[in-house]
Amino acid sequence: MSIRIGILGYGNLGRGVECAVRQNPDMELKAVFTRRNPEHVKILTETACVCPVSEAPDWKDRLDVLILCGGSATDLPMQTPEYAKLFNVIDSFDTHAKIPEHFANVDAAAKENSKVAIISVGWDPGMFSLNRMYANAILPQGKDYTFWGRGVSQGHSDAVRRIAGVKDARQYTIPVDSALAAVRAGENPVLSTRQKHTRECFVVTEEGADKTRIEEEIQSMPNYFADYDTTVHFISEEELQRDHSGIPHGGLVLRSGVTGWEQENRHLIEYSLKLDSNPEFTASVITAYARAAYRLSHEGVSGCKTVFDIAPALLSAKSGEELRASLL
């Protein structure tokens, strides 16, 4: 019998989960829940229903895992605890500073209702967190580095779009090569924000807009750009569509550490991702963890979990025997 999956929220992430479920033969997408009018939401899976979100509770016994594809700012802090009362759930909550609070809320709801919830699943938080954790456990004496990019930051793109005279914009975050080289060389550099990443903006302006003012507003914007070296390119709407319509991302997690009685030996652990589609990769990670939630729930486990708590084998469709024979 397949693992019956529901998706709540059908944006880029929800659509990515739909695609990922199709790649996993032991899973079946049963329903997509939307806050929009279901008649206006076209999904790709012919055998799945599109339902108004108000009907989700009716599916309580017809889904094994509900995947929450809303945003971290306002959706997930409400949705994950709410739906953890009815379903095993997965979310990609990524507001790092608020994870402890979110964990506590979700844990209480899930435990009370004997459900499994896995939060903050994706690549950062998610696979990057896992790699930071493994590397720290293996090399207790060392230094961590995380670089993001080259990739599109939605938050920074939105910030540029809010500037008067900007019609559309795309912002790329880019690791600084020399910083990365210093880390790889085992130099354990102390890197400022400016030394780690640069930012590159591609901006389409309204007719007659003052480009000099827009460039200055971008480069001096506190939190978003002021602490970085930012390059601004003004391009046409056609160029933006043609060259910048993808949502690539990626990055690197490194730990540089020492071993030996006198700490005489150096080691470098590096994990990197190069992703054509940030939401589809995030969705693929989430979908693998949906399998783990399903299995844990069958084992009688309940409560909130993160990637740190999940034994790797639970993610794989293969049995323990197959994994040991083929991948160990």
The residues that touch a copy of itself, with contacts defined as CB under 8 A, are: 16, 18-20, 22-24, 44, 96, 99-100, 103, 120, 125, 127, 129-134, 136-141, 184, 259-261, 264-277, 280-281, 283-285, 288, 291, 306-313, 315-317, 320-321, 323-325, 327-328
Q: In the complex with a copy of itself, which residue's Cβ is closer, 64 or 280? A: 280
Q: How far apart are CA 324 and CA 327, in angstroms?
A: 6
**Least distance to a copy of itself, CB of residue 161, Å:** 24
Tell me whether residue 134 is exposed, middle or buried, using C-beta atoms within 10 angstroms of its C-beta: 0 to 12, 13 to 18, 19 or more. Answer: middle
**Least distance to a copy of itself, CB of residue 26, Å:** 10
Strands (E), 106-248: 116-118, 142-148, 151-152, 166-175, 197-205, 229-234
CA angle at 285 for the pair 274 and 147, rounded to the nearest 5°: 40
Q: What are the residues whose beta carbons fall under 8 Å from the beta carbon of 152, sequence distance 6 or more?
A: 170, 171, 172, 173, 244, 246, 247, 248, 249, 278
**Least distance to a copy of itself, CB of residue 67, Å:** 15
What is the 3-class SS of 1-30, one letter each residue? CCEEEEEECCCHHHHHHHHHHHCCCCEEEE
Q: In the complex with a copy of itself, which residue's Cβ is closer, 231 or 316? A: 316
Q: In the complex with a copy of itself, which residue's Cβ is closer, 42 or 54? A: 42
Q: How far apart are CA 232 and CA 215, in angstroms?
A: 6
Q: In the complex with a copy of itself, which residue's Cβ is closer, 15 or 199? A: 15
Q: In the complex with a copy of itself, which residue's Cβ is closer, 44 or 73? A: 44
Q: Are 214 and 163 in contact (CB under 8 A)?
A: yes
Q: In the complex with a copy of itself, which residue's Cβ is closer, 179 or 290? A: 290
Q: Are 97 and 109 in contact (CB under 8 A)?
A: no
**Least distance to a copy of itself, CB of residue 44, Å:** 5
CA atoms within 13 A on the CB side of 104: 3
**Least distance to a copy of itself, CB of residue 134, Å:** 6
Q: In the complex with a copy of itself, which residue's Cβ is closer, 194 or 242? A: 242
**Least distance to a copy of itself, CB of residue 58, Å:** 28
